[in-house]
Structure 1
């Protein structure tokens, strides 16, 4: 992972406020070399509508759900970004009360800031960081919309389709990662699931809501990585759309506790993702 930034965040509001944002996933972003192809792929797989053209000077396209809400954004991966070590990837934004204080704390713990923190007017203060195992993500202090000062992000929802429903970290040091995220973002770690040789799949919670899990990185995964699971209406329909759209199914669908199904895949440009939803057929 390069020490320099390989992405500049979006210029549109995340519709999140400081209230309750500390430690919450408040935005998700796909960095890809082909935003047009990404639109074709994810619109079909998840049911989103990605903007056909960027709405501002930056090549950044908003992702809209069928209910009219935002699901995240898509940024074009440039040759310059590739030169700094960039690759197609989904990144999450974690809300914090104070970006600069958070960065100082993260670096003290062995993490790293990949860019100087900066402000986007009417959006918030943002910086890309890594955890001590090198896993990239953003931290952000969002600016709430002037006409909705109490609004909060709804891009994550543990049960709804077209939202991110689960955040899964595969890491080279599970114990250190649990310590890092619980101490820096106020998460709790309660409960787990035995994965045999892979050890425990440790559930994490934010404000009492299960937001995901932290697991040991499998040997075939070259780096520690966050995977974000998008809710779909029908896992079999979505699986077929992944294959038809030129993506790859890496694992699954497999049944998960509660009776739904999940799978892991790669989009045609090489970004990894997860899907979760019911089986209707």
Structure 2
């Protein structure tokens, strides 16, 4: 972040009383909004940038964590208790089991979760707590594990207000090239100062436990396994039947297979022109 301010700005008479400190606060807020946006949906790449003092340099861009999820659940519309239980089962069971879940949510997704009727399920406990990061979160306690929900305004700004990211709290890696630092210098031939703030870091997802809940109906990230919740005993057809998609069954589904039972995941494969169903146990890279 770079901003240039005249040496006489604070002493100037203004119709609206605002100071250099207020402008600095606004600049930092704008900078953090931009960096959060890049953290979520940035696209990896590089380009040459020419500078009169240092010559041509290569500027690199980080890939946002939105495109790093290996599992993506498609869910549009109202959430029900059974959907929430299925999410807990997918997240907290399997080969990569995290110690806890931090759920960063768009505003519409968070509203859907808050409107689930938990009155018939006293085993689900909801309370407001402060997590290890010092955030005030809403904690849902389930038989599979805890979910810490937090509104993430950036998701609303980038078009994911119906979506959420379920992150393994101990499966996040923060890479820091250099600590955050500031610098101030005089602008040549001008009675002004240039102030710079440099943050050189990145966030990465470790393991395969993380789940992105896509409530927008947009395409999944490249290389991610797509999940959806299936609630009828008939096999998917038409637009609901997608090659490579994993279906989490909320009921027994003989339409898929006589052995397809509630709580299982099944994947549809159309290789060779003839579609077939297989019980899905997860990805195994060899």
When the two structures are superposed, what TM-score results if normalisation uses the length of structure 2? 0.30
When the two structures are superposed, what TM-score results if normalisation uses the length of structure 1? 0.30
- Looking at CA atoms only, which structure, 1 or 2, has the larger radius of gyration? 2
